[in-house]
């Protein structure tokens, strides 16, 4: 079985993700300290809430130095989920703090001319359009459905980092990948069969 360490920094559906990992045959460990992260083979950074709050909690827990070593220097795989994926970016229109900056890009707010037709936040099921091959999407096709809930979206600087996009008034990045960094704007732990497939792919990729 594959071990994956879920980073508990105070935000995110920790237990839901752990249950999903177990359902697909993995072993979920919860990292509550830097020491826990140091032992990790693969990492998941979840997140629900505001950008600055997430960054403040990572700083408060003193997780950033050990995460930088594990991700940037050691190159172990990490999957960011929703806010967790947004924190990989350089900055966000939601807050004033700098992001982790592991991938060049920004987090932008949905702004629509007709809010009666397209409400913010974007909540519910939506599909992806695959832009390039990625082990995260092994055996998945265009139109795979995932559960979203977000008011801000990821805008990566390089098209080479875009794995899949989703339409909601605009076309936005719903999955990205650079080196061993993977990010999804949706919640795989709430996405039933497609979410299970994605988590299983993350656990089994080499």
Q: Three-state SS for 54?
A: helix
Tokens at 95, concatenated:
């807050």
187 is catalytic: yes
- Rounded-to-integer distance, Cα 154 and Cα 181, Å: 14
189 is catalytic: yes
Tokens at 191, concatenated:
């996405």
Q: Which of 122, 134, 150, 189 is catalytic?
A: 189
Q: Which of 94, 134, 150, 187 is catalytic?
A: 187
Could you give the dihedral angle defined by the CA atoms of residues 171, 103, 81 and 39, in that order, rounded to the nearest 10 degrees?
Answer: 160
Q: How many CA atoms lie within 13 A of 152 on its CB side?
A: 25
- Rounded-to-integer distance, Cα 175 and Cα 205, Å: 16
Q: Which of 29, 82, 134, 167 is catalytic?
A: 82
Active site residues: 82, 187, 189
């Amino acid at each position: 079985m594959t071990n994956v360490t879920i980073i508990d920094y105070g935000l995110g559906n920790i237990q839901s993700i752990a249950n999903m990992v177990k359902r697909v045959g993995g072993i979920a460990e919860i990292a509550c300290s830097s020491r826990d992260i140091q032992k990790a083979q693969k990492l998941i950074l979840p997140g629900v809430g505001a950008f600055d709050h997430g960054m403040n909690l990572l700083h408060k827990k003193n997780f950033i130095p050990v995460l930088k070593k594990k991700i940037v220097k050691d190159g172990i795989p990490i999957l960011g989920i929703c806010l967790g994926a947004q924190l990989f970016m350089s900055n966000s229109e939601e807050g004033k703090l700098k992001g982790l900056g592991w991938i060049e890009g920004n987090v932008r707010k949905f702004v629509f001319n007709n809010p009666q037709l397209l409400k913010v936040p974007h909540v519910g099921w939506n599909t992806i359009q695959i832009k390039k091959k990625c082990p995260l999407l092994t055996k998945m096709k265009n139109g795979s459905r995932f559960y979203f809930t977000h008011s801000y979206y990821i805008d990566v600087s390089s098209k080479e980092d875009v794995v899949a996009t989703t339409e909601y008034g605009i076309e936005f990045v719903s999955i990205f990948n650079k080196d061993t960094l993977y990010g999804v704007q949706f919640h795989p732990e709430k996405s039933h069969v497609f979410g299970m497939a994605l988590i299983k792919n993350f656990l089994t990729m080499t």
